[in-house]
Amino acid sequence: MAPLPRSAPSAQATDARGVIAFLDAIEGVPGIEPHGVMLLRHGQVIAEGWWAPYTPDELHHLYSLSKLFTSTAAGFAWAEGLLDLDAPVISYFPELDAEVTDPASRSILVRHVASMSAGHSTEQWDRALTADPDEPVRGFLLEPPDGTPGVTFAYSQSSTFALGAIIQRVAGQSLVEYLRPRLFEPLGIGEVFWLRHPAGRDLGFAGLHATTEAVARLGQLYLQGGSWDGQQLLAPEWVAEATRAHVDNSGGGDSESDWAKGYGFQFWMCRHGYRGDGAYGQYCVILPEQDAVLAMTSETHDMQAVLDAVWTHLLPAFDREGPAASDAELSRRLTGLHLPFPDGEEIPDSEFTAARSDLRFLQRVTLGPRTLTLHEEDGTTTTLPLATGTWPIAGHIAARAAKTDADTVTVHLQFTLTPHKLRIICDLRSGTFEAAWRTVPLMDPSKVTLSAVADPAHRLGL
């Protein structure tokens, strides 16, 4: 993979002090935990950093940021004549034609599912999956919309799933296979994997695992109107259509919310520019007026706060002169980053049983000064190394543990392919523990195990 060009912020007319203020903001707000960040200006990387145990090369679950890649696949299929935006969705599933009789369902067009305006007024995925777990498109089309297709907005995974299913059907390939020669290889994006449902069909609305830099490269492609290294990869007409508002999503809500500025083809419009985002803090923010892209992976429930920090600190830094010394200060700030963890005394050898746990399958925890062993209900054991001051990684799980008061051992498990952290609080007096996710993995609760969260690609045989 050819490296992206690097530059000092001041060489790209950016005041590094604004970037430092942005980092202060996202690190200083309780509940925001940055994992990786890349900022590009004029096609140059001017700031980048990863908070250990996260690294530049490891894949990260993008959650709904995956939708941008599905939109891009739709752009290629449209340009190749495989996808008609004005065709009814039902036309791509002729085997459902006799069943789907409601006129409103039959009037849902491809452009409607691309723009989250299929006409259902609420998230519909669970209902579609319940109706037909093997072919959710059938469940989607069998429920007549309660609004008007093309007008009624609802952020619904069913819409993106239907779009992705159509692309995979007309292409005769998975989304990853279809995108490999058209997007991933030309952009220099290496390994990725996409979760599937059903077997053989990439999920489309979530489940893509890729690096922070892959997100940055995709954002830069859109910023450049679909051009990369002098080659027009994606039709500029698609870029323009995908990144403009097709439907009003304000719903009479907060006028300052960046979730109420309109919706394109799987892109959110923003107060400034446009973006893709994913649950718990995955972002690709594209700022055409500033010729800038921000790619970020993180863990947070307060996604608006991160965007507020972008508008407050990064926007004013563009085209503002700053001292050269600030470039060096920013470089130092981005070196040796790591997720915080409380210090404490060395851990005594001890064993704990579950008192209360969000993970019903986690039965026992065995601790020593250098190792942590997790015992699951089915007899599976996972032993992880512990080391003071670092986040040693084993099997995509990084563990830290410390005696944080006289009677308590605090354990954090960081699942490095995901935004998720599991906190285990062990009581030395009772010999019991309580475990809770800081952000709960969005997957079938009955299938949540340590291995399923830590390495979903291995679990799925990808």
Residues 379 and 294 reside in one and the same domain: no
Residues 356 and 329 reside in one and the same domain: no
* pLDDT (tens digit per residue) in 179-199: 999 999 999 999 999 999 988
Residues 179 and 41 reside in one and the same domain: yes
Share of the chain above pLDDT 90, in %: 83
Q: Is residue 136 one of the residues assigned to a domain?
A: no
Q: Is residue 386 one of the residues assigned to a domain?
A: yes
Strands 350-357 vs 432-437: parallel, antiparallel or unpaired: parallel
Q: Which residues are CB-neighbours of 334 under 8 A, at least 6 positions away?
A: 23, 47, 48, 49
Q: Is residue 398 one of the residues assigned to a domain?
A: yes
pLDDT category of residue 270 using cuts at 50, 70 and 90: very high
The pLDDT score that the predictor gives to residue 358 is 62
Q: Tokens standing for 369?
A: 């000064």
Q: Tokens standing for 237?
A: 């007409």
The pLDDT score that the predictor gives to residue 9 is 98
Q: What whole-number distance in Å separates Cα of residue 438 and Cα of residue 446? A: 18
Q: What whole-number distance in Å separates Cα of residue 239 and Cα of residue 315? A: 23
3-state secondary structure of 433: strand
The pLDDT score that the predictor gives to residue 133 is 94
The pLDDT score that the predictor gives to residue 361 is 80
Residues 191 and 305 reside in one and the same domain: yes
Q: What is the average per-residue pLDDT within 333-343?
A: 91
Q: What whole-number distance in Å separates Cα of residue 46 and Cα of residue 35? A: 17
* pLDDT (tens digit per residue) in 135-193: 999 999 999 999 999 999 999 999 999 999 999 999 999 999 999 999 999 999 999 99
Q: Are 414 and 339 in contact (CB under 8 A)?
A: yes
Into how many domains does the chain fold?
2
Q: What whole-number distance in Å separates Cα of residue 391 and Cα of residue 252? A: 45
Q: pTM of the prediction?
A: 0.96
Amino acid at 284: C
Q: Are 110 and 166 in contact (CB under 8 A)?
A: yes
Q: What is the average per-residue pLDDT within 56-65?
A: 97
Mean pLDDT, the chain, integer? 94
Q: Is residue 412 one of the residues assigned to a domain?
A: yes
Q: Which residues form the domain of 52?
A: 9-79+168-333
Q: Is pLDDT at 357 greater than 70 in this prediction?
A: no
Residues 359 and 445 reside in one and the same domain: yes
Q: What is the average per-residue pLDDT within 277-288?
A: 98
Q: Is residue 184 one of the residues assigned to a domain?
A: yes
* pLDDT (tens digit per residue) in 398-440: 999 989 899 999 999 999 999 999 999 999 999 999 999 999 9
| CATH at 310 | 3.40.710.10
Q: What is the average per-residue pLDDT within 74-99?
A: 98
* pLDDT (tens digit per residue) in 286-315: 999 999 999 999 999 999 999 999 999 999
- Cα–Cα separations (whole angstroms), residue 305 to 30, 136, 457: 11, 34, 31
Q: Is pLDDT at 462 greater than 50 in this prediction?
A: no
Q: Is pLDDT at 388 greater than 60 in this prediction?
A: yes
The pLDDT score that the predictor gives to residue 356 is 67
